Amino acid sequence: MSDPRLHGFECIPEMLRKFGEHVEWPRFTFELDPAHTLIMKLLRKGKHPGAASLEIKEGGLWLGYVTVAGEFQPTHNASRMPRPVKLLLWNLLQAIRLDPETAFAAHGIRTGTCCACGRTLTNAESVELGIGPICRERIFS
């Protein structure tokens, strides 16, 4: 049995799959800090169809997969990141595992952008919810 802390993330590929019913290239984007942006993408083909791929946008640093069964399989890149960034990544993943809707909302409230479509949240309701209404419906309904 691998590390139980790396299990239980099946909501990530599941939400990407749902979002992918509406957009061609589903991805979620989370700013970890001003220099590190986490991107989660749905893998449609290849060795792990339906899994999520995690990477750091800056430099295209690939961090690993989240399988359909919800196991995070980190690459060596993930362990080599600076410790503060690793902590931010880990805290975000835990928050998503516990309550994805709240984690997405918290990100949107903090950054002012929708982590699904990347648009700036403009109307009062979206700003308060931390996610655009269309993306929210597509991912969480």
Instruction: Check residue 135 for interaction with Zn ion (CB under 5 A).
Output: yes
Stretch 107-126 residues interacting with Zn ion (CB under 5 A): 114, 116-117
Task: Please identify, using beta-carbon distances, which residue of 72 and 104 lies nearer to Zn ion.
Answer: 104
Q: Are 19 and 139 in contact (CB under 8 A)?
A: yes
CB of 106 to Zn ion, least distance (A): 15
**Smallest separation (angstroms) from Zn ion to the CB of 95:** 18
CB of 61 to Zn ion, least distance (A): 25
Residue 61 touches Zn ion, criterion: CB under 5 A: no
Whole-number Å distance between alpha carbons of 117 and 100: 16
For residue 66, state whether it binds Zn ion (rule: CB under 5 A): no
Burial of 25 per CB tally in 10 Å (0-12, 13-18, 19+)? exposed
Binder among 26, 64, 74, 132 for Zn ion (CB under 5 A): 132
Using CB under 5 A as the criterion, which residues of the chain lie in contact with Zn ion when the complex forms? 114, 116-117, 132, 135
